[in-house]
Amino acid sequence: MTTAILLQTEKSANVQQEGIFALSFIDKNFKINKVELKKLLRKLKLEATSINTTKTPAKQKRKGKHGRTVSVYRPSKYYIKLKTGQKIDDKTIESLNELLNPKPTTK
């Protein structure tokens, strides 16, 4: 079960004016490539002209409670450029999360 979030930082706010939206996924075991992400966006009637990913950063280490080093998870970001006039908002993120996590059907 994973959750997609729309990044709300100063840099992402600046690029949103150009039609580029920064997206990230919370679950560290969830991997998605550009083609799969583009197919999910098409189901939401959004046409992505390009999708770029940031390199996954090196694992950051921090000291644990008892002196052990613990690696910290840092998610990769997806920069999605949409056609003019289209945008990703909170409702779009909710419907994307519903596509990623379908509710089980009971018979």
Average pLDDT, the chain: 85
Q: Is 106 contained in some domain?
A: no
Please indicate whether residue 76 or residue 34 has the higher confidence score (pLDDT): 34
Give the integer Cα–Cα distance in Å for 2 and 98: 10
* Domain that residue 25 falls in: 4-100
What's phi and psi for 53, nearest 5 deg? Answer: -115, 150
Give the integer Cα–Cα distance in Å for 14 and 7: 12
Q: Give pLDDT, residue 52.
A: 92
pLDDT band at 107 (very low <50, low <70, confident <90, very high): low
Q: Is 107 contained in some domain?
A: no
What's phi and psi for 45, nearest 5 deg? Answer: 65, 35
Q: How do residues 51-64 score in pLDDT, each as one tens digit?
A: 998 876 667 777 77
Reading the block at residue 76, the tokens are 């990769």
Q: Is 59 contained in some domain?
A: yes
Q: Give pLDDT, residue 57.
A: 66
Provide the number of structural domains found in the chain: 1
Residue 88, pLDDT > 80, answer yes
Give the integer Cα–Cα distance in Å for 89 and 22: 11
Give the integer Cα–Cα distance in Å for 61 and 11: 25
Q: Is 105 contained in some domain?
A: no
Q: Is 27 contained in some domain?
A: yes
Total-model pTM: 0.78
Q: Give pLDDT, residue 103.
A: 80
Q: Give pLDDT, residue 63.
A: 78
CATH of the domain at 62: 3.30.70.330
